[in-house]
Structure 1
Amino acid sequence: MDAVVQVLASEGVDTVFGCPGAAILPLYQALEKNGTIEHLIVRHEEGATHMADGWSRTTGGVGVAIGTSGPAGTNMITGLYTALADSI
């Protein structure tokens, strides 16, 4: 997970949006250890994808949404499709 955080930082990511869950907690530990990427918590994974999409549209940077295993993947589809359809 440290490598994932290093790649995010090397791409200029300074903010991520997500909903913590058991399977993704090692990534959150790596984010905390790194300390250069801010995490904004959301109430629902779909909101994270829309926030990441909006972030990318307004800043021109990489928008990152984080979800855990299980239904988070299906919850994120609408926001991911929105970004894909608009080439974001």
Structure 2
Amino acid sequence: MARMRAVDAAVLVLAKEGIDAAFGVPGAAINPFYSAMRRAGNISHVLARHVEGASHMAEGYTRAQPGNIGVCIGTSGPAGTDMITGLY
């Protein structure tokens, strides 16, 4: 049976859902996901200076054109809390 890493499966699921762009800040805990995204080559990444800015970028991308799905990527720790501002 073929085996797949969880990060490769996550990138595959995002691509199948129509994701073509992601916004975020790399960090130690999320770097394997970034390497899987680079290896797949089907999702472009926009580097932000901080996670709150990335969440606003993703939200703006969603509103810019019908069919766009904005994805914000953050590492472990306070990134989840920092993304909440962009959800409002």
- TM bucket by the smaller chain? 0.7 to 0.9
The code of the aligned residue for 2:86 comes to: G
Q: Report the aligned-residue RMSD.
A: 0.8
Partners of 2:35 and 2:53 in 1: how far apart? 22
The SS at the match of 1:16 is strand
Greater fraction helix: 1
The code of the aligned residue for 2:27 comes to: G
Partners of 2:8 and 2:73 in 1: how far apart? 15
Quote the offset at 1:50 in angstroms. 0.5
Q: Which of 64, 67, 70 is 1:63 aligned to?
A: 70
Does 2:79 correspond to 1:72? Answer: yes
Size of the aligned set, in residue pairs, is: 81
Which residues of structure 2 form unaligned runs of 5+?
Answer: 1-6
Quote the offset at 1:59 in angstroms. 2.2
TM-score normalised by the chain length of structure 2:
0.88
TM-score normalised by the chain length of structure 1:
0.88
Which residues of structure 1 form unaligned runs of 5+?
Answer: 83-88
Q: 4+ residue runs of structure 1 moved beyond 2 angstroms?
A: none
**Percent identity over the alignment?**
59
**Which structure has the bigger radius of gyration?**
2
